[in-house]
Amino acid sequence: MGTLFLKLAALYFLIGVGMGLTMEIIGDHRLMGAHAHINLVGWASMGLFGAIYVLFPKAGESTLAKYHFWLYNISLPLFMLGLSFLLLGNESLMLLLQIFPNVLVLAVILFVINVFQNVKAADVARHLHRDKGA
């Protein structure tokens, strides 16, 4: 799932900085919380997941990685949508905020289990070993 995580991370980065720029231009910072989390939970954290999963293919290709990927990427946009509504003073999507931050944390728990089970120095991506020997 490594490269998929990296692609989505890049997309979240674009959305995050686009949002920051828009907030600055229109002089309305109410969505700051969503902007901060899109950049940090979207771009920064997903970029790290991607890098770890590319570096450690055993972790990146495990079933845990698939559940981690899908739970994370279903919950994050719905969490951000609910949060954005709330920050703008509209409470009609509170249900999203009652459910999806929990699903996101569940995805992170799967990530942690995956790292502990499948990230081992001996399994680091083969091409890195090759480069080292060259």
CB 104 within 8 A of CB 76: yes
Using CB under 6 A as the binding rule, whether residue 112 contacts ligand HEM is answered as no
> Nearer to ligand HEM by C-beta: 39 or 118?
39
d(CA 107, CA 64): 9
Using CB under 6 A as the binding rule, whether residue 36 contacts ligand HEM is answered as yes
Among 1, 9, 15, 41, binds ligand HEM (CB under 6 A): 41
- Phi first, then psi: give them for residue 37, nearest 5 degrees: -75, -30
CB 38 within 8 A of CB 19: yes
Using CB under 6 A as the binding rule, whether residue 32 contacts ligand HEM is answered as yes
How big is the site for ligand HEM, counted in residues (CB under 6 A)? 21
